[in-house]
Amino acid sequence: MKIRIKGNSLRYRLTKTDVAKLAEDGYVQETVDFGSQQLIYALRLVVDEQLSATYKENAITLYAPKTMITGFADEDKVGYEGTHGSLHLLVEKDFTCLDEVAEDQSDNYPNPLAAKKI
């Protein structure tokens, strides 16, 4: 799972394994170790109809409706977005990059634009 923060926008990108774990456990998290402190970012499924988020005790948690994950891995749907107050939230599949990158992308979803690049 990746997180991207820009201004008042929060984006989570999920690999195939992240989506499977989220579907099974209802929760997925990653940790960034800064030495003396850690930043946790997590995604939790909840019984709600909208995306929301909190930041407490060095943890960013994005809450997503359980209905979001139903079939997410098997659908063509790229992601879900919403707002929580003035915060823009987005949860989406992590696609392979079209450009060469050093990052391991073996668990990413196939990029739908790859066929168009040829």
pLDDT tens-digit readout, 60-117: 999 999 888 776 766 677 788 899 999 999 998 866 665 666 566 666 655 666 666 5
* SS3 of residue 67 by DSSP: helix
Query: Over the stretch 36-51, which tens digit does the pLDDT of each residue have?
Result: 999 999 999 999 889 9
Model confidence pTM above 0.75: yes
Look at strands 59-65 and 38-46 and give their pairing.
parallel
Separation of alpha carbons 41 and 38, rounded Å: 10
